[in-house]
């Protein structure tokens, strides 16, 4: 059974909190990683690797650079 | 002594050691004669002949927020904690970033990261490595992080000279200020090397104490029963400042960093030259650099690691350079040997001895080795006289590196 958007969002919130210290509650779908959450490119790599472990979906580097918002990542994982 | 040379003073101290998470708790433990040694509980302990170490009294994970800690090697965590303490202790001075420098090194670097990253890479592949693996393992990582934290743009440097690293860093910092490159330099050393491979490697060199049944009695510099050094971990970092800059802002001044002396043994890669020439020359050069006479030196914090060979050679070097009047302590008897961090914390102890006018006693010195003709502090801490005094911190490293830093009271 596919994971729901809410489950992915909760998982991402936990990962982003662990890596950056940003409260999970601030990680909402419309947030832009760079502009809203101030997450740098190396932290994005850490988040992508952790998300890969959590959801079993590989996020290649050439895809990662197109994932600008939390919603983009949720969509990628669901697809 | 040149009268127009820039004078360098110490205005801030920071440390995290096996005896305490800061300078005050460490210093008070030293004066009480407490030991920082404890049994190692890691799973590798049964694979090595040494089952104890001077583990940091306060784990850095209790101090740093987790998102910050996970990007730092343990040695960098210690360094950043000590640097923040030193900076606050100095009153968080207002200074132009272009006039602020950092010199912080490590003897080994991010060895914990190297080993765990290698395991991870072998088990799960390159793309599971943290993108921070390189800045965690590089030995200049601490200097880089501290420069970012403080906005230090005059230069961030890392000296590497094994167990002389911390003292050499302070020497380089003094030179940065004297040469006009900076008004303030944050300087010292850090190490986090309590890992099976390091213990095994030092044990393979037959340099470590194996007194497993009595860890607190294992580090015993100058004692007949000494059988090797005890590994410790942590960092010691000072804020160095031109006297002019410190006076202008009304800073508290602990001591003057009056002179630094260097030499190299050019003899053996691990063993000290048997006549003690290297240590003696480092001390004499520090005196010359500071414009001091041997009689001015009231106190020495010896390198004295508790190895059978090294301590007696250093005692001879001290006698030849200074005579027999200086009060000598060996604080590794309580902290263990912090390798690259040793010169940092022991410079701090030397500065505090001058500032507080008291020298901690050498722990476990039950029966001094024969032929030692220097004044070792035994039993209780010893008071220093009033008036203008000088003190020297000795730090020597594998490779034959010898550094002596002379501090004077103000």
State the pLDDT at residue B3.
55
Are A30 and A71 within 8 A, CB to CB? yes
Q: Is residue B124 part of a domain?
A: yes
Rounded distance, CA B133 to CA B393, Å? 34
pLDDT tens for chain B, 410 residues long, are: 455 789 999 999 999 999 999 999 999 999 999 999 999 999 999 999 999 999 999 999 999 999 999 999 999 999 999 999 999 999 999 999 999 999 999 999 999 999 999 999 999 999 889 999 999 999 999 999 999 999 999 999 999 999 999 999 999 999 999 999 999 999 999 999 999 999 999 999 999 999 999 999 999 999 999 999 999 999 999 999 999 999 999 999 999 999 999 999 999 999 899 999 999 999 999 999 999 999 999 999 999 999 999 999 999 999 999 999 999 999 999 999 999 999 999 999 999 999 999 999 999 999 999 999 999 999 999 999 999 999 999 999 999 999 999 999 99
pTM for this predicted structure:
0.95
Domain final residue pick, B218, B248, B278 = B248
Rounded distance, CA B120 to CA B266, Å? 40
SS3 assignment, position B185:
strand
State the pLDDT at residue B400.
96
Q: Is residue B140 part of a domain?
A: yes
Give just the sign of the alpha carbon dihedral B327, B330, B335, B339.
Answer: positive
Q: Is residue B308 part of a domain?
A: yes
Q: Is residue B253 part of a domain?
A: no
In chain A, the number of structural domains is: 1
B296 and B231 housed in the same domain? no
Q: What is the extent of the structural domain holding B184?
A: 8-248
Structure tokens at B261: 């002396």
Domain final residue pick, B248, B283, B303 = B248
Q: Is residue B380 part of a domain?
A: yes
Listed in sequence order, the residues at least 6 apart from A49 whose beta carbon sits closer than 8 Å to its beta carbon are B127, B128
B176 and B315 housed in the same domain? no
Q: What is the extent of the structural domain holding A53?
A: 5-78
What's A46's domain CATH number? 1.10.1200.10
Q: Is residue B1 part of a domain?
A: no
Which of B57, B66, B72, B47 has the alpha carbon at shortest distance from B26?
Answer: B57
* CB atoms A21 and B66 under 8 Å: yes
Size of interface A-B (CB pairs under 8 A): 18
In chain B, the number of structural domains is: 2
Please say if B303 is a catalytic residue.
Answer: yes
B124 touches chain A (CB under 8 A): no
B170 and B89 housed in the same domain? yes
B35 and B154 housed in the same domain? yes
Rounded distance, CA B235 to CA B386, Å? 30
Q: Is residue B255 part of a domain?
A: no
Shortest distance between the Cα of A54 and any Cα of chain B, in A, equals 13
Instruction: Name the residue facing B131 among A20, A21, A42 (closest C-beta).
Output: A42
DSSP letters spanning B128-147: GS-TTHHHHHSTTHHHHHHH
pLDDT for A2 beyond 80 = no
Domain final residue pick, B191, B226, B248 = B248
What's B307's domain CATH number? 3.40.47.10
Q: How far is CA B87 from the centre of its chain?
A: 18
Rounded distance, CA B246 to CA B9, Å? 8
Q: How far, CA to CA in Å, does B93 sit from each of B100, B185, B191, B235, B295? A: 10, 11, 26, 21, 35
């Amino acid at each position: 059974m596919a994971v729901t958007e809410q489950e992915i969002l909760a998982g991402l919130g936990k990962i982003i909190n662990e890596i950056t210290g940003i409260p999970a509650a601030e990680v909402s779908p419309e947030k832009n990683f760079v502009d809203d959450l101030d997450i740098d490119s190396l932290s994005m790599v850490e988040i992508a690797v952790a998300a890969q472990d959590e959801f079993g979906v590989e996020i290649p580097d050439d895809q990662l650079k197109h994932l600008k918002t939390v919603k983009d990542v949720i969509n990628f994982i669901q697809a | 002594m040149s009268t127009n040379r820039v004078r360098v003073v110490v205005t801030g101290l920071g440390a995290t050691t096996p005896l305490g998470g800061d300078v005050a708790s460490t210093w008070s433990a030293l004066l009480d004669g407490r030991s920082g040694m404890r049994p190692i509980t890691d799973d590798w302990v049964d694979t090595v002949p040494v089952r104890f170490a001077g583990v940091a009294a306060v784990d850095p994970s209790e101090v740093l927020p987790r998102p910050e800690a996970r990007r730092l090697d343990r040695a960098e965590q210690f360094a950043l904690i000590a640097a923040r303490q030193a900076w606050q202790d100095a009153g968080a001075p207002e200074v132009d970033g272009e006039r602020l420098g950092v010199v912080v090194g490590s003897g080994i670097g991010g060895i914990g990261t190297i080993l765990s990253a290698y395991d991870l890479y072998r088990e799960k592949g390159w793309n599971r490595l943290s993108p921070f693996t390189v800045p965690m393992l590089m030995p200049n990582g601490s200097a880089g992080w501290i420069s970012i934290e403080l906005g230090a743009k005059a230069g961030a440097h890392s000296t590497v000279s094994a167990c002389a690293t911390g003292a050499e860093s302070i020497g380089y910092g003094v030179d940065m200020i004297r040469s006009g490159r900076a008004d303030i330099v944050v300087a010292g050393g850090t190490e986090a090397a309590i890992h099976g491979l390091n213990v095994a490697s030092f044990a393979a060199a037959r340099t470590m104490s194996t007194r497993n049944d009595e860890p607190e009695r294992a580090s015993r510099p100058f004692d007949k029963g000494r059988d090797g050094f005890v590994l410790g971990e942590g960092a010691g970092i000072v804020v160095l400042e031109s006297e002019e800059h410190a006076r202008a802002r009304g800073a508290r001044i602990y001591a003057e960093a009056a002179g630094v002396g260097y030499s190299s043994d050019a003899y053996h890669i691990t063993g000290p030259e048997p006549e003690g020439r290297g240590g003696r020359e480092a001390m004499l050069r520090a005196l010359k650099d500071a414009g001091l006479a041997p009689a001015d030196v009231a106190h020495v914090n010896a390198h004295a690691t508790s190895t059978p060979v090294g301590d007696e050679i250093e005692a001879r070097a001290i006698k030849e350079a200074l005579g027999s009047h200086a009060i000598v302590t060996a604080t590794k008897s309580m902290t263990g040997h912090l390798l690259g961090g040793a010169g940092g914390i022991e410079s701090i102890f030397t500065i505090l001895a001058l500032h507080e006018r008291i020298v901690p006693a050498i722990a476990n010195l039950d029966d001094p080795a024969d032929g030692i003709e220097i004044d070792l502090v035994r039993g209780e801490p010893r008071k220093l006289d009033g008036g203008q005094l000088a003190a020297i911190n000795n730090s020597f490293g594998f490779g034959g590196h010898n550094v002596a830093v002379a501090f004077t009271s103000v």
